[in-house]
Structure 1
Amino acid sequence: MPASTTPLRLSPGDVAPDFSLPNSKGGTTALADLRGRKTVLYFYPQADTPACTQQACDFRDSLASLGAAGYAVVGISPDPAAAIVKFAGEQELNFPLLADEGHHVAEAYGTWGEKKNYGRTYEGLIRSTFVLDEEGRIALAQYNVRAKGHVAKLRRDLGLV
């Protein structure tokens, strides 16, 4: 039987995999930096594409209400650091983006795996969102999310409507 390329999935209650990655502000962000606050950690395939731009701008436009409810927002993509810096500046994003260029963090979160698009099968980032609690545990795990309407759905799922 061939080896499966389906990644392991995280579930509520799991400890969030540790990371330290370059951020869009020129520094680094580590999981430890997020402790003490609920965090929406979302993985997106590529900066400056239509779907990823829509999703990032939806988070940007909802950041005040998410923040008022106690949530920080962090985006992660396999883009190089220069690409996320440019993307964050062009879209005036008010939350950090992290560069996971080797997709090691994406693999640890189960967001790197087989994808199908227009009849083609390939390895890539699976758009996914996690809510981490104050101690760094997974409170909510959503895989294969759609960019359009995702933030509104997440807000409903969190009871923030």
Structure 2
Amino acid sequence: MSLAVGNPAPSFEAKDQNGNIIKLSDFKGRKVILYFYPKDATPGCTAQACNLRDNYEALQKAGFIVLGVSSDSEKSHLKFIEKQNLPFPLIADEDLKVHEAYGTWVEKSMYGRKYMGTARTTFVIDEEGVLTEIIEKVDTKNHTNQILK
């Protein structure tokens, strides 16, 4: 199933970097930026996370909750958050259930080798839990402007 703007955002339940359960339903009545990224502490993912961090106040003023998702472990997320001073939670989707619900676990190709990985994608979800925007061409260094435009 591929998601489209206007669809209800798939519900999920997963653990954050501290082992706390995060459910999309916890944020009913709030706008959510749910961004999927390939790997903690890699250059593009760090640029994206730091762009959201540096503009976090503007995102909060616009009413957004920010949640990052990757297939990395809670421990990896915690190190990434501490090293980059990230003010938002990262979801450890090691079983790929959240990725599969959002269609972000895809076949990729590098140097002719095919493998499965995360499609860097951001979903903007409104207060009613409806997808209002899907950003598939993420500009890691300018991501907040893509969201707030």
User: With structure 1 as the length reference, what TM-score do the two structures score?
Assistant: 0.87
Match of 1:75 among 68, 72, 78: 68
Aligned to 1:42: 35
Give 1:15 deviation, angstroms. Answer: 1.1
Q: What 5-or-longer segments of structure 2 have no aligned partner? A: none
Contact 1:111 1:143 in 2 (8 A): no
Q: Does 1:138 align with 2:139?
A: no
Aligned to 1:63: 56
Q: Deviations over 1:26-76 (max 9, x none)?
A: 412111111110011100011111111110011111110011011111100
Q: Distance in 2 between matches of 1:26 and 1:104?
A: 16
Contact 2:124 2:134 in 1 (8 A): yes
Q: Higher mean Cα deviation, 49-58 or 8-17? A: 8-17
User: With structure 2 as the length reference, what TM-score do the two structures score?
Assistant: 0.93
Q: Does 1:104 align with 2:106?
A: no
Q: Distance in 1 between matches of 2:22 and 2:63?
A: 19
1:64 to 1:77, Cα distance in 2 relative to 1, 3 A:
same
Match of 1:147 among 119, 140, 143: 140
Q: What 5-or-longer segments of structure 1 have no aligned partner? A: 1-7, 157-161
Aligned to 2:77: 84
Query: Aligned with 1:113: secondary structure?
Result: strand
Aligned to 2:13: 20
Q: Work out the percentage of aligned pairs sharing the same amino acid.
A: 45
Query: Aligned with 1:122: secondary structure?
Result: strand
Query: Aligned with 2:67: secondary structure?
Result: strand
Q: Distance in 1 between matches of 2:114 and 2:148?
A: 32
Contact 1:44 1:126 in 2 (8 A): yes
Q: CA RMSD in A?
A: 1.3
Q: Distance in 1 between matches of 2:3 and 2:16?
A: 23
Query: Aligned with 1:41: secondary structure?
Result: strand
Q: Higher mean Cα deviation, 110-119 or 54-63? A: 110-119
